[in-house]
Amino acid sequence: MASRARRRPPPAAARRSPVSVPSAATRDADGTRADILAIATEEFAKKGLSGSRVDEIAERTHTVKRMIYYYFGSKEGLYRAVLERCYDHIRMIESDLDLDALPPNEALRRLVQTTFDYHNKHPDFVRLVMNENIHHGDHIGHLPNIKTRNRTVIAMLGKLIDRGVAAGIFREDLDPVELHMSISALCFYNVSNRYTFSRIFEKDMSSPKALAARREIVVDTIERWCAAK
């Protein structure tokens, strides 16, 4: 009887390490966690921390409360994860602008335009920030890396200011934190006060035409404030 041919082991390049590809369970877990965060963002933005219910979030994500508590520990833990995710997202958008590749004045315009557009496209972010301020920032203060992870925008503005001052375009006394605060305030207001302001003063703040006009005003305001005298 002929002996069976021995199977040669696959070459090293063809072998797969058991940790090189995420398991189906890991992929499912990541997807479930992302779904929970997305739905929780909507719920917390609409109803606030106290008004949101874990039962409703579980139902909308086709999970159970126990799973949500497994991932996030508590409703407060989920809320903090939502806040962290929202801040991480806007910081990521800013970092992707590659402002160092643009002249200082163009870089400033690009940043202000992007910030204005982001707030209008993500009203849930504005509502979440407003809600957290009602809580005096108590929950965001429990996020251990929130300060470090948000220093990126200050560092980016610091570099931009230095380049603008060196080019004689920006005034020398600009502070990156003050600049960030001013940009955020002007962009934030158009969303946070849209309904009250428009009703009191009968001012259109939502149409594409109104948004384009307001966007240019905000950009012009920041440019003039930064300009060298």
Query: Rounded distance, CA 155 to CA 144, Å?
Result: 19
Name the residue ranges covered by the structural domains of the chain.
83-226
- Residue 18's pLDDT is what? 43
* 219 touches 113 (CB < 8 A): yes
Residue 53 predicted with pLDDT over 90 = yes
178-211: per-residue pLDDT in tens? 999 999 999 999 999 999 999 999 999 999 999 9
Query: Rounded distance, CA 163 to CA 108, Å?
Result: 11
pLDDT bracket for residue 111 (50, 70, 90): very high
Percent of the residues in the chain that have a pLDDT greater than 70, as a whole number = 88
158-171: per-residue pLDDT in tens? 999 999 999 999 99
- Residue 28's pLDDT is what? 80
Token pair for 18: 């058991």
* 111 touches 213 (CB < 8 A): no
Q: How high is the mean pLDDT of the chain? A: 90
Token pair for 5: 């041919």
Query: Rounded distance, CA 199 to CA 151, Å?
Result: 37
Closest CA relative to residue 119, chosen from 18, 211, 220, 27: 211
Query: Rounded distance, CA 44 to CA 80, Å?
Result: 11
Residue 21 predicted with pLDDT over 90 = no
* 91 touches 149 (CB < 8 A): yes
64-89: per-residue pLDDT in tens? 999 999 999 999 999 999 999 999 99
Q: How far is CA 108 from the centre of its chain?
A: 19
Residue 229 predicted with pLDDT over 60 = yes
Backbone φ, ψ for residue 45 (5° rounding): -65, -35
- Residue 157's pLDDT is what? 98
Class of domain 83-226: mainly alpha
